[in-house]
Structure 1
């Protein structure tokens, strides 16, 4: 029960890594507000995935809420914080996880795709971090912010030239925020997942040869699961990591060191 009695906001919390973070946090005693966006393009009816997560969290005996919106909108970040405070009384932790990863070649990459990726992955992380940090400062008791970066912050990919800079930016954002917010007792860290089996990369991993090639490059011999990341986020959000800030935790089965 590492998060017993705490409240947590999770962006991108209806599917994949975000869902795992939300559920694992609830298992450890947290009340959870998930931020999500319309999921119809992933085969869901509007709000279905979010409702599934809320139901799972509630079976664990914790309070669970959801708010639909676009993390690239700073007003939505403020609304998330306001909703959490109204419902839970305070915000103790943030998992800034919302992100998109549409694979695309570089030379013909549409400008709008770049703008959308930066808006969601980087600007969205900035806005929600800022809104939550302001609330934590008002509360005066510190807090924990954990952002989902990626192994892609450290390595390149020909089909991710619009994506990798945003994840490097998220990693850098947490480092700078660790300095800016340390005086308020607010810890800021990032997790850098490797190849995690989620909806985000389902199409990329559907090719058996591609998947086998990838697994052979991972020393632990398997793709990661969302819970592998969720557990690490829970640790960084908890008092067990009370002296950890500005850190970047690779959650990749050893893939990064094997790429060197």
Structure 2
């Protein structure tokens, strides 16, 4: 019960990494605010997630609002305070990656990616941090960045800068928020099987290649991120801030 009596906000929590993190946080005793896009297609999954969290003996509430909207962070914080009285952990997980070549990248694709992945994250982190400062007892902020913050991708020229931006945001926020006892860290997943890359990994040859590039011999699962998120959220990481943790099965260090 590493997160007992804590309230955790997670964006992009209706599926994938966010959903796995929400469930593990609840298993560790936390009440959870589920941020999701607000789309009707996501609602049934969100309702099922709430039921599953409640079955674990914890509270859950959902806030449907686009991650790229600057007001969404305020809505998430308001829900957390209204239902649970506090914000102890904020996990910025929401993100998109519509693969596209660089030279003919539509402006709307670029702008949507940057707004969803980085601009919305900035304002949401700011909202959570201000609430933590008001509470006066610190907190933990975790951004799900990517191995793509460190390496490039020919079909990801709009995506990789946003993930590098999240990593940099956590480093700077660690300095800015350290005096208030707020820890800020980044997770850098490798190739994790989620909806964001489902179409890309449908190519069996590419799928096999990506698995072969990983020393552990398999692609990642959303659950592989849940443990590291709980660790960084918990008091076990009380002296960890400004850090970046690769969760990639060893892909980044595999040069051959």
User: TM range, normalised to the smaller chain?
Assistant: over 0.9
d(CA) in 2 for partners of 1:258 and 1:113?
31
Select 2:181's aligned residue among 185, 191, 200. Answer: 185
CA contact (8 A) 1:72 1:127 kept: no
Asked if residue 196 in structure 1 is aligned to residue 192 in structure 2, the reply is: yes
d(CA) in 1 for partners of 2:201 and 2:73?
32
Other-structure match for 1:170: 166
Flag as ranges the 4+ runs of structure 1 deviating above 3 A: none
d(CA) in 2 for partners of 1:80 and 1:49?
18
d(CA) in 2 for partners of 1:214 and 1:46?
29
d(CA) in 1 for partners of 2:38 and 2:198?
18
1:123-167 deviation line (CA, Å, top 9, x unaligned) = 111011000000000000000000000000001000000000000
Mark the runs of 5 or more structure 1 residues left unpaired by the alignment: none
Mark the runs of 5 or more structure 2 residues left unpaired by the alignment: none
Offset, 1:199: 0.8
Select 2:146's aligned residue among 120, 134, 150. Answer: 150
Equivalence map 1:89-238=2 (5 Å): 89-238=85-234
Aligned residues: 256
Indicate the SS of the match to 2:71.
helix
CA contact (8 A) 2:36 2:42 kept: no
User: What is the alpha-carbon root mean square deviation over aligned residues?
Assistant: 1.0
Equivalence map 1:32-71=2 (5 Å): 32-39=32-39, 45-71=41-67
d(CA) in 1 for partners of 2:82 and 2:6?
14
TM-score normalised by structure 2 residue count: 0.98
d(CA) in 2 for partners of 1:106 and 1:134?
37
TM-score normalised by structure 1 residue count: 0.96
